[in-house]
Structure 1
Amino acid sequence: MKQKQNRIWNGIEKFGNSLPHPVYIFIILTAVVFVVSALCSSIEFPHPNTGEEQHISNLMSKDGLVWFLQSMVENFVTFSPLGVTLVAMLGIGIAEETGLVKTVIKSSIAGAPKFLVTAIVLLVGIMGSLAGSATFVIIPPLGAMIFRGMDRHPIAGLATGFAGVAAGLSANLMVTQTDILLSGITESAAQIYDPNYTVNPTVNWYFMAASTIMLTIVGTFVVEKIIEPRLGEYKREEGEPGAIETEDTTLADVTAEEKSGMKWAGIAVLVYLAVLAITIVPTNGILRGEDGAIIDSPFFSSMVPILTIFFLVAGLAYGIKTKVIQKSADVVQLWGKSMAGLAGFVVLCFFAGQFVKAFAQSNLGLYLSVKGSEFLSGSSLTGAPLIVGFICITMLINFMIGSASAKWALMAPIFVPMFMKLGFTPAFTQAAFRIADSVTNAVSPLEPFMPFIIMTALKYDRKSGLGSIIATMLPLVISFAISWIILILIWYKLNLPLGPGSSILM
């Protein structure tokens, strides 16, 4: 059985890696979008939300080509992973290049038991949705570094972190910005059926908290029993740093200078956190939201620069104490060194940005999503089969529309009222949507941070490509999907509350 599974994953990887470089894949996909948009330009359809007439935009027409040429620069600079990654690396790069990250790993996480490290990386990744997009840049590379430091395969660590932040995106032990964003869309859709219906951000809290624990357990098992055995022993490149000892003597391997540097970094971080607390703890703090809100506030919407400064402060304090930084010019050199490794990623972002924007401009994704939704809403499925069908359709739509809010704004007006007529609460429909919206992110070419994951994998395996990432992530994605569907069906069968005062049935 194991050999058969390995043949399947290896076949997927071989096929995927036989494809051109990801840069050329995005060029080809963009060309395909242009051709298909021209062939389908006569198609018209009503927008499911507004009812306004929509049509497939012909990108090969004069207007389409002019739009593409005029927006090419904007398509690149507004591609969200580009800005997030570059800004985050201003802080993470200093922490990494000064040696702080390596020292912290040596003295703490790498000394933990193997199974616990996997679970920690997964859990931190899942909980990372609190920090928004920044976690895509922080957790997967950190997972790879942790695994490599423990003489485990870094690609497995990268996959563990990526599974947490991407496939487990909607789960969390706390109420997040996603809850607030989706509940607002759900409430508007529910009021189509009942004008007085309200949906609060905590309607999925219990279910998502349980999902966090379940995904951590399932993901740990899959990484330990399937992904790592398939990847095999990691062979280090010449000159690559050796393993970090995981015995009780780990702390002894940290030099006195490194310990002193960590102490300075810790003090600097405490001072920074104290200053940050002044802006968020008082009810009138400058980073609080309207009426003193914390979750829906400038604090959370500014998480990328906040985390960048966090790593920058820690890295500078460590580097100054350990004399890695002796003059101001050293900081600029370290920034340049860390940014140099992102050159390939920047090139990839240019072409990925063109594809994503062209696909959206053509309306092909919207059209296919509408047709998929119409197929399900017109089916005769009820009960558990309807729930599973809705999740599967949404998974497919997730390959065409990446943004959760855009996707839910499209689907909610169709499915929330429909499910309400069938006796399901909007909270339950929203929970089912969040499952599908999360799990396929880790294998979707439309996932904005996929180029960054590919470029990170290339640091450890020069043969890595899109096929390698998909083959590595598929066991996690499939196991997450199956276990999450089983969990929601159990929740449905037992009619458990999804959140405070939030039931499954109307």
Structure 2
Amino acid sequence: MSEASQPGRQRGFLGFVERAGNLLPDPTIIFVYLILALMVLSAIGSAMGWEASLPYSGSKAPEHAELANGVLTYRASSLFSEENVAKLFTEMPKTFAGFAPLGLVLTIMIGAAVAERTGLFSALIRASLRNAHKGLLTPIVAVIGMVSHHASDAAYVVFIPLAAIVFAVAGRHPLAGLAAAFAAVSGGYAGNLMPGQIDVLLLSFTQEAARIVDPTWTMNPLGNWYYICAIVVLFTPIVWFITDKVVEPRLGKWGGVVDEELRADLDKAEVTAEERKGLRRAGLVALGIIAFFAAMALWPGYTPFINEEAKGTARLQPLYASLIAGFFLLFLLTGIVFGRAVGVVKSADDVVKMMQHGVRTMAPYLVFVFFAAHFVAMFNWSRIGPIIAINGAEALQAMALPAALLLVCVLLLSSFLDLFIGSASAKWSALSPVVVPMFMLLGVSPEMTTAAYRMGDSYTNIMTPLMSYFPLILAFSRRWDGTMGVGSLLALMLPYALSFMAVGIAMTVGWVLLDLPLGPGAQVHYTPPTAG
């Protein structure tokens, strides 16, 4: 019997977390239950006359609201009513296909599938870490780990075990390298130097929720850019200090030998001449794409990515909207030129097959989105969302709690849920229709609420055995220490998680108090619309 399956694993708080989490169904089924509960709640709300109002100076009421004498009113509508039942069945394809996150994520994933299948992501990770300086090994691992989120599974399957091997070859304890990499990849999941797929995914759910209050609100894929960069800056020295001063001394001197097997594993991580050529070509293509988008925004007399009639940051909205296509082209074209260089792309058919593979891997997401889309749509039809948001905002306003403290509450709620539900998008798709409108009415921007959620969803990934990659990391760790169990790995990661938590809360509070921009055109505060 392995360590992971021994009865002792079920004891204590961690055992409770594992047992409770194992009782939860798949996130898709959770949304089925949420839809059923929402239907019952909407019937109760309609029968009891639930409603909420707020002043509104516009001339046209938003969808699902009534406007009279400058007051906007939302009244609960039963999902069992004739209108809503007809809408559920007649608009089912429209509800699914019209769900904003679906098209955005699929667009990027089709391109990212090419970059991943050609080996571009893996080569980038190996090239970045293979010849790292021994003295700077830990911070390099930390930065690469947080940037490697764009590589999806490769961050876990390639980067984390490679970090352990590189530490071992450098004469350092391989478990320290594994811990540093796991902390960066999973505990620092909210951090990155460039926005990517997760930004588009979460902010697209934010857009759906924000439009409950402001139908004109449009997602900016760079809406959290400065915030996620700051996470990298703050978390990197934390990983460095804890790895070198806490974890590695606790592990003691590594008694292993750099034998032929270990050398062979490191040789497998070597970047070939063809891969280096592919990386150079991919880099040139990436620069070309950046130059193209810059030209479309700056070329004299021809600026399709600029709204010349708008003012302020609104002028850049077409540029922000075009970034979805930009990420698609970046992943697709760099993947193609890399694949040509290494010989895995010989014809257009190869590229098409890679795209198809990317869509196939999205099948579980498509099933999940079908139910999530209907939950969000039915939430809007019932009017429960704005009623909770308006009444909740009024209650919080009466308590006179500062915005920073309110956002910490969102952060901690996200952390707690992450112990049981690993999917960031599943949690946010359920939470955002309530918390985003509520905080908008309190003057907190959708981008800031999303940032707080992301922070809370990040550091708890390394604190729970229910995280989907936890068993894989445990298997990696047992290569170096056969006695490693669930508790051993959690104890190894706990110093990182608690440090990330403390710094993450302080960073979020400081961001609000200092009123720092979250990204280009994205601020902490939000002013409710006053025009129709």
TM-score (norm. length: structure 2): 0.60
Q: Could you tell me how far apart the structure 2 residues matched to 1:278 and 1:61 are?
A: 53
Answer whether contact 1:119 1:216 (CA < 8 A) is retained: yes
Answer whether contact 2:404 2:508 (CA < 8 A) is retained: no
| 1:324 and 2:318 are equivalent in the alignment | no
Answer whether contact 1:391 1:436 (CA < 8 A) is retained: yes
The residue aligned with 1:28 is 33
Q: Is the deviation greater in 294-303 or in 19-28?
A: 294-303
Q: Is the deviation greater in 30-39 or in 355-364?
A: 355-364
Q: Could you tell me how far apart the structure 1 residues matched to 2:372 and 2:473 are?
A: 22
Q: Could you tell me how far apart the structure 2 residues matched to 1:397 and 1:338 are?
A: 33
Q: Could you tell me how far apart the structure 1 residues matched to 2:120 and 2:73 are?
A: 56
| 1:390 and 2:395 are equivalent in the alignment | no
1:146 aligned to 159, 163, 174, which one? 159
Size of the alignment, in residue pairs?
Answer: 412
| Pair 388,303 (structure 1): closer, same or farther in 2 beyond 3 Å | closer
Answer whether contact 2:74 2:386 (CA < 8 A) is retained: no
| 1:257 and 2:274 are equivalent in the alignment | yes
Q: Could you tell me how far apart the structure 1 residues matched to 2:262 and 2:97 are?
A: 38
Deviation at 1:32, TM superposition (A): 1.0
**Paired AA for residue 38 in structure 2:** V
Deviation at 1:45, TM superposition (A): 2.4
1:352 aligned to 368, 372, 380, which one? 372
| Pair 161,18 (structure 1): closer, same or farther in 2 beyond 3 Å | same
Deviation at 1:374, TM superposition (A): 2.3
**Paired AA for residue 390 in structure 1:** L
Answer whether contact 1:90 1:308 (CA < 8 A) is retained: yes
The residue aligned with 1:99 is 119
Q: Could you tell me how far apart the structure 2 residues matched to 1:21 and 1:488 are?
A: 31
Aligned counterparts, 1:60-209, within 5 A: 60-109=80-129, 111-112=131-132, 115-117=138-140, 119-120=142-143, 124=147, 138=150, 141=153, 143-144=155-156, 145-151=158-164, 152=178, 159-160=186-187, 162-164=189-191
Superposed CA offset, 1:93-130 (max 9, x none): 111111222112111145545532454257659xxxxx
Q: Is the deviation greater in 24-33 or in 339-348?
A: 339-348
**Paired AA for residue 80 in structure 2:** M
Q: Secondary structure at the match of 2:101?
A: helix
Deviation at 1:306, TM superposition (A): 0.8
Q: Could you tell me how far apart the structure 2 residues matched to 1:205 and 1:264 are?
A: 27
Q: Secondary structure at the match of 2:388?
A: helix
Answer whether contact 1:91 1:312 (CA < 8 A) is retained: yes
Deviation at 1:340, TM superposition (A): 2.0
**Paired AA for residue 120 in structure 1:** V
Q: Secondary structure at the match of 2:74?
A: strand
Q: Is the deviation greater in 289-298 or in 33-42?
A: 289-298
Q: Could you tell me how far apart the structure 2 residues matched to 1:227 and 1:163 are?
A: 23
Deviation at 1:33, TM superposition (A): 0.9
Superposed CA offset, 1:256-295 (max 9, x none): 2222222332333344344333223435443442349788
| Pair 226,141 (structure 1): closer, same or farther in 2 beyond 3 Å | farther
Q: Secondary structure at the match of 1:344?
A: helix
**Paired AA for residue 146 in structure 1:** F
Q: Secondary structure at the match of 2:51?
A: strand
Answer whether contact 1:92 1:308 (CA < 8 A) is retained: yes
| 1:375 and 2:391 are equivalent in the alignment | no
Superposed CA offset, 1:33-66 (max 9, x none): 1111112213332333533221222112222211
Q: Could you tell me how far apart the structure 1 residues matched to 2:278 and 2:227 are?
A: 42
Answer whether contact 2:129 2:140 (CA < 8 A) is retained: yes
Q: Could you tell me how far apart the structure 2 residues matched to 1:430 and 1:275 are?
A: 30
Deviation at 1:503, TM superposition (A): 13
TM-score (norm. length: structure 1): 0.63
Q: Could you tell me how far apart the structure 2 residues matched to 1:487 and 1:455 are?
A: 25
Superposed CA offset, 1:7-34 (max 9, x none): 5355334312321222211111111111
Answer whether contact 1:257 1:322 (CA < 8 A) is retained: yes
Deviation at 1:479, TM superposition (A): 6.2
Q: Could you tell me how far apart the structure 1 residues matched to 2:281 and 2:300 are?
A: 31
Ranges in structure 1 where 5+ consecutive residues have no aligned partner? 126-134, 189-203, 229-241, 417-425, 445-453, 464-470
Answer whether contact 2:125 2:144 (CA < 8 A) is retained: no
Answer whether contact 2:95 2:377 (CA < 8 A) is retained: yes
Deviation at 1:255, TM superposition (A): 1.8
In angstroms, what is the RMSD of aligned CA positions? Answer: 5.4
Answer whether contact 1:140 1:161 (CA < 8 A) is retained: no
Matched residues, percent identical? 23
| Pair 207,20 (structure 1): closer, same or farther in 2 beyond 3 Å | closer
